[in-house]
A and B are shown apart, each in its own frame.
Chain A
Amino acid sequence: KAGVTQTPRYLIKTRGQQVTLSCSPISGHRSVSWYQQTPGQGLQFLFEYFSETQRNKGNFPGRFSGRQFSNSRSEMNVSTLELGDSALYLCASSGLAGGPDTQYFGPGTRLTVL
């Protein structure tokens, strides 16, 4: 099976812009979770989607939003970018809605905000 794919791999934006990141889960997986990873904070949970519904949400401002399509592909959007949004954004897919099932991570999108 092909793994989790994320596009783009690298992105450079300026403050105030918005950005959309894409994640394609492993075929057959219905749960997609998004994480932000920074050197100082480690991995932080953004949100999880299962069957096009947001099931869990982390403690991030409303500038961070997401959605999931009927084919389980997911997008994450960040509006009004701030310098602190520079991070590696990881998406992970699993067969179940979270729980003990293993999450498989994609390679991530490295976002740099100038």
Chain B
Amino acid sequence: GENVEQHPSTLSVQEGDSAVIKCTYSDSASNYFPWYKQELGKGPQLIIDIRSNVGEKKDQRIAVTLNKTAKHFSLHITETQPEDSAVYFCAASLGGNEKLTFGTGTRLTIIP
């Protein structure tokens, strides 16, 4: 089955700087890659996703890039703000109603 590895497990960034979280996946058939943000005491919330026919997607300060050849995808957050502090999870699936396989999470801390 699919295996998703996520790095780093913790990341501290000065407010205003950029943060990058990377994930690799094992199943070359995977074609849907969402990113979730989980704030303390809450459930994960989808922040951005990308499909395999697209190399990059951007939504304001967040962007995701996908390299299908290397089987890795990354989350980029620019101009970080204190409210970006949270745990971020990447995931991969075959799309449709197929199951999501999650990475182990990255705890991002924004230092004021």
Is B a genuine binding partner of A?
A: no
